[in-house]
Each structure stands twice: as structure tokens, then as C-alpha cells.
Amino acid sequence: MSFINSQIHLVSRPTGEPGLDNFKQMDVAVPELLDGQVLVRNHYLSLDPYMRGRMNEGKSYAQPQPLNQVMLGGTVGEVVASKNAAFSVGDQVVGMGGWQHFFIVDGGQRGVLQKVDATHIPLSAFLGAVGMPGVTAWYGLVKIINPQAGETVVVSAASGAVGSVVGQLAKARGAQVVGLAGGAEKCRYVVETLGFDACVDYKQHADVKSLSAALKIACPNGIDGYFENVGGTILDAVMSRANAFSRVAMCGMISGYNGEPIPMSAPQLILINRMKFEGFIVTEHMDVWPEALKELGALVATGRLKFRESVSEGLASAPEAFLGLLKGRNFGKQLVKLV
């Protein structure tokens, strides 16, 4: 059986804001499988903010995305051919299949391809709430912020794939949870569907003083933990309301992904409030993934963890959907549906 594989490559590195011209779609033939290999047809591909950093050549926590090769990224799909005894045709799997319809993987490489059970959990959720974003949320909240019952936790990008999980996990641990999101619709969703105690629409506040005042109302007892996805003005406003010995999990700084400077207006607050800042990359903590996925999977399977997806149709839509993600146009986890 022969397949033609459509792929999207990164063909140039952006200067500042990326554009559609940085990408190119092309078709290639899928080669015959060798012994030990598995052919997977991707059903969904994941679009994530970290991909913007990999488009650059500069130093980062991940290797740059190679030019003229398939854009890297997480995928879920189905095994359609196998020459590996550990995988059978029809197995549903999660891996790093990239922006393409098919990919071949050596099934003997540990951890590269994982079987998943979609009986009680939607297949797409293994790229979101029960995947890397969910574990990212779990690690930053549980291992860094470690909220105690009654403490106040603030979450930026609260309606997104990571932030939405952070808030729900914090509520389950007895914390007061306040989100930051862009727009009235997202804020309503954060409070009414996800169960946050409050949500501040940052688009209604033009400067740090105004945003800080809004946080004072939403967090009358100050802020004990902060899950950071954005940086910039939002971080400054949170720091102005932070309590002594507050903890900050540094997950992302999307406000500076296109090379914009991200100055901190009052770094002295770190000392004054004895704040703990800790950056983390979730793939460097694989030892906690089983524990995190067990909790996340149980919560999703029983309907106690809510999530929302923005789904773009067809591989060709991936670049535009990715650019929209960087501008906050998505609502929840951004996916591309291929099948």
C-alpha cells in the first residue's frame, strides 16, 4: 500500500512577527517500512506557543526547528501499517508526528510513540488536558506553586489549554482562583464553565496601575501563587499584588515571542516580598508524567475537568491557525483536524 504524504515545512526564519511566507506545503511519497518501524496516520496535530521560539536560531531551551523540514509538533493518530510486534494496525497513539498526514517511527525507541485508550477520553484530549499542556499545568501548580487551601492563585491566559487546567486543579486543592483572559466571552467561560472565582479582562486595562487595581478587587487577600504564561504588563501587575513568600511558576512569556523586550518594572518586589520564581520545561520532568496523567485522565474521563478546543480543518490551515494562536485568537486548545 502506498501513500502520498502532505507536509508543511518551515522554509525561512521570521524577523519579528512570523507570516504565512515562512511556511510551505509539499507532497512526498511515504517510503516502505523497514523492520521495527510503524506508520501512523495523524488525526489531529497540536499547535502550541513554544513552536514560535523554535522558529528562531537563537539560544533557547529547545533546538531550533530545522529549515526545509517538517514543522515539529505533537500529534495523535492511528497505526495504519506496522513491522513492529509492539504495535498493531488500529492502535491509537500519541507522538511527535509533526505537521503532516503520515509519519514513520522506529517503534523500538522508548517513549517516542505511546498507545492511548480513547474509550472514555476523546482522542484529541491527549494533545491537551491529558497531554503535554495538562502535564505542564499540573507540574507548575503542584510542584512549584503548591497551593494550600485558602490561598489565592492567579493564572494568566486562563482560557487556554494550560491555564484552564491550572485553575481547575487549584480549585480542587481548595485555593481561590483568579484568571486573566482577553475579552468578556473568555472571562465568562473561565468563571461560569471552568469554575474560577473571578476573571480579569486584561484588554480593559491599558496600563499596570489599572490592571493592578482590578487585581486588588479580584484578590482582596493578595496573591500567593501565580502561573505565568504571558509576561510584560500582566506580570508587573501581579507582582504589585503579591504576598510575602508567593511562588511564581514561569511557563511562558508569549508577550515577547516575536523578539519584543520584556522589561520588569519593579524587580525589587522579588526581594521585598521574598518571592520564588521558577522556570520549568515539562519534558525535563518525565518522572512525574505518570502521576500527572493519572490524575488528569481520571478527571477528564469523569467530566470533572472541563476543556475547550479550537479546531482548524485540514493541514493547509495549520500556518494561519498557528499565527492566530500567537495573537490569542484561539479559545482553548488549538488543534488541526486531519481526519
Q: What is the pLDDT of residues 243-276, one digit of tens each?
A: 999 999 999 888 777 777 888 999 999 999 999 9
pLDDT at 1 over 60: no
How far apart are the C-alpha atoms of 50 and 325, rounded to whole Å?
A: 11
- pLDDT, tens digit, 9 for 90 and up, residues 190-209: 999 999 999 999 999 999 99
How far apart are the C-alpha atoms of 277 and 144, rounded to whole Å?
A: 9
pLDDT at 188 over 70: yes
**Residue 110, pLDDT score:** 77
Is residue 237 within 8 Å of 213, Cβ to Cβ? no
163: exposed, middle or buried (Cβ count in 10 Å: 0-12, 13-18, 19+): buried
Q: Which residues lie below 8 Å from residue 303, measured CB to CB, with a gap of 6+?
A: none
How far apart are the C-alpha atoms of 295 and 106, rounded to whole Å?
A: 29
The average pLDDT across 295-324 equals 97
pLDDT at 73 over 70: yes
Which of 242 and 108 is assigned the larger pLDDT?
Answer: 242
108: confidence class by pLDDT, cuts 50, 70, 90: confident
**Residue 283, pLDDT score:** 92
Dig out the grid coordinates for 136 from the structure: 505542564
Dig out the grid coordinates for 105 from the structure: 517511527
Is residue 131 within 8 Å of 45, Cβ to Cβ? no
How far apart are the C-alpha atoms of 229 and 1, rounded to whole Å?
A: 45
Report the phi/psi class of residue 157: left, alpha or beta, with left for phi > 0 and alpha for psi in -120 to 50.
Answer: left
Domains of the chain: 4-128+307-337 (3.90.180.10), 132-283 (3.40.50.720)
